[in-house]
Amino acid sequence: MRSSLRLELVAALAVGLLLAAVPMLIPGNITLLNLGILTFLYVAQGVAWNILGGFAGYVSFGYAAFFGLGAYTTALLWLAGWSPVLTYPIGGLVAAAFSLLVGAPTLRLVGPYFSIATIGVGEAMRILMLNLDKITGGASGLNLPTVVPSKTWFYFVALICAATSYAVAAWIRTSRFGLGLTALRLDLEAAESLGVRTTLFKNLAHIVSAALVGACGGVYATYLQYVHPDTVFSFTLSISLVLIALIGGLGTVWGPVLGAVVFFVVQDYLQTSYPTFHLLVYGLLLLVIILFEPGGMAGLAGRLVARRRGASAGPPAADPAPHAEHERAPMPRADAERPGTERTT
């Protein structure tokens, strides 16, 4: 296990360095830089989303709220004369603060109810922002300064975002914190009775991933030089993150990386002919994955590798599905007392 982990980190570092060298190796290719910037931002967000959605098992459909808050924080500070770089962490902080505000009550809900609540929160935020036209520009959005750093600069910033997300997720995966998240995902009550501070951990995971997504929102705003509530708070964006992580592989660190690359390439390829066609492709892919390969692409890859090694018990894929012990959630409250649980035989 440990040696394979080290191998994974070395590989990630190598890929990172290679990507960092691209602007030098192939200079002046703007298309490539643009492709890189957007892909890296998707990678950063998918990996970050997975910290709560994959590791802790709380599938949120509301991450656009964090992205949007980050984007608008950066936009407003930039308009007020700040240097963009300084605004990214602040956008992250604002997103993190908001995640604590909504997470503290909603993370008490059991799985699917949490997911539904996040749709409510995300959409409510979008509509609110559309109506706060004094601040957000409302339906006409905000135009941002036209003097911007070069594409190469954005390429590196986006790469740093992706690398940071990856590093944070990789660290969490191997840490005591990550073990606690896994435990609470598999069985909240058992984890709690073994001393895991489940409420604290869920919220921490939420905050960390929201901060990362918020910072990405800031980068996106400066890169496009324009923000609009319907784009940065869009439900489609929230869905994209869910799809990226699920199709890449929940609970693994590099699954969402793979998912994001495939997602963006498919989107980019189909964008001009049919703008939302990639969602159809992804919806179908998701159907197939949930029915046949709950571990996503990472799970599939793991299984193939295991088969080639002669089925030497590869690492288990973190799954959104099987195991009969998981009961169906009868009521939305996680901590609601269930009368009459005594079932002595």
Partner 1 sequence: MFTTQNLVSVAIAALLTAGLYAVMSYGLAIIYGVMKVINVSNAGFLMLGAFMTLMYFQWWHLDPVAGAVLNLLPFFGAGWLVYKLLVRRVVSARPIATLLLLFALWLVIQNVALAIWGSDDQSIITAYTYKSLIVGGFRLPLTRLIVFAVALLALSLLHFVLGHTYVGKALRATVQDPQAALLVGIDTERISALAFGLGTALSGFAGSLLTLLFSFTPDFGGPFQLKSFTIIVLGGLENFAGVTVGAAVLALTESFAVLFMRASLQNVIAYGLLVVALIVMPGGVAQLWARTRS
Partner 2 sequence: MTTALTLDRITKRFGGLAALQEVTVQIASGDITGLIGPNGAGKTTLFSIIAGKTRPTVGRVLCFGHDVTGWSAHAVCRLGVCTTHQVVRPFGDLTVLENVRVGASFGASGRLGGRTAEEEAGEILTFVGLAHRRDSLASALTLAQRKRLEIARALATRPAVLLLDEVLAGLTPAEIQQAVELVRQIRARGITIVMIEHVMRAVMDLSDRVLVLNYGRLIADGSPAVVANSPQVIEAYLGEKISES
DSSP code of residue 316: P
* Distances from the Cα of 89 to the Cα of 69, 86, 221, angstroms: 12, 6, 13
Phi, psi dihedral angles at 333 (to 5 degrees) = -85, 130
Q: What residues numbered 17-46 form the site for partner 2, per CB under 8 A?
A: none
- Which lies closer to partner 2 via its Cβ, residue 133 or residue 335? 335
Q: Is 271 in the site for partner 1 (CB under 8 A)?
A: no
Name the CA dihedral angle for 301, 41, 283, 298, rounded to a multiple of 10 degrees. 10
Size of the site for partner 2 (CB under 8 A): 34
Contact window for partner 2 (CB under 8 A) among 187-195, 257-265, 279-287, 302-310 = 187-195
- Which lies closer to partner 1 via its Cβ, residue 222 or residue 267? 267
Among 60, 136, 182, 222, binds partner 2 (CB under 8 A): 182
Residue among 198, 209, 195, 199 at smallest CA distance from 66: 209
Q: Are the CB atoms for 33 and 154 separated by under 8 Å?
A: yes
Q: Rounded distance, CA 104 to CA 204, Å?
A: 10
Among 8, 187, 230, 268, binds partner 2 (CB under 8 A): 187
What angle in degrees, to the nearest 10, is found between the helix axes of 111-131 and 64-79? 30
Contact window for partner 1 (CB under 8 A) among 90-98, 103-111, 212-220, 301-309 = 103-111
Instruction: Give the bridge partners for 333, in sequence order.
Output: 109
Closest approach of Cβ 196 to partner 2, in Å?
Answer: 5
Q: What residues numbered 239-258 form the site for partner 1, per CB under 8 A?
A: 239, 242, 246
Residue 123 CB neighbour total at 10 angstroms: 18
Q: Are the CB atoms for 245 and 259 separated by under 8 Å?
A: yes
Q: Is 30 in the site for partner 1 (CB under 8 A)?
A: no
Contact partners, residue 232, CB within 8 Å, separation at least 6: 64, 67, 68, 71, 72, 217, 220, 221
Size of the site for partner 1 (CB under 8 A): 52
Q: Rounded distance, CA 115 to CA 329, Å?
A: 13
Closest approach of Cβ 180 to partner 2, in Å?
Answer: 6
Q: What residues numbered 43-102 form the site for partner 1, per CB under 8 A?
A: 57, 59
Residues binding partner 2 (CB under 8 A): 174-176, 179-180, 182-183, 186-187, 189-199, 313, 316, 318-319, 323, 325, 337, 339-345
Which residues are at the interface with partner 1 (CB under 8 A)?
Answer: 57, 59, 105-106, 108-113, 115-117, 119-121, 123-124, 127-128, 130-131, 235, 239, 242, 246, 274, 276-277, 279-280, 282-284, 286-287, 290-291, 294, 320-324, 326, 328-333, 336
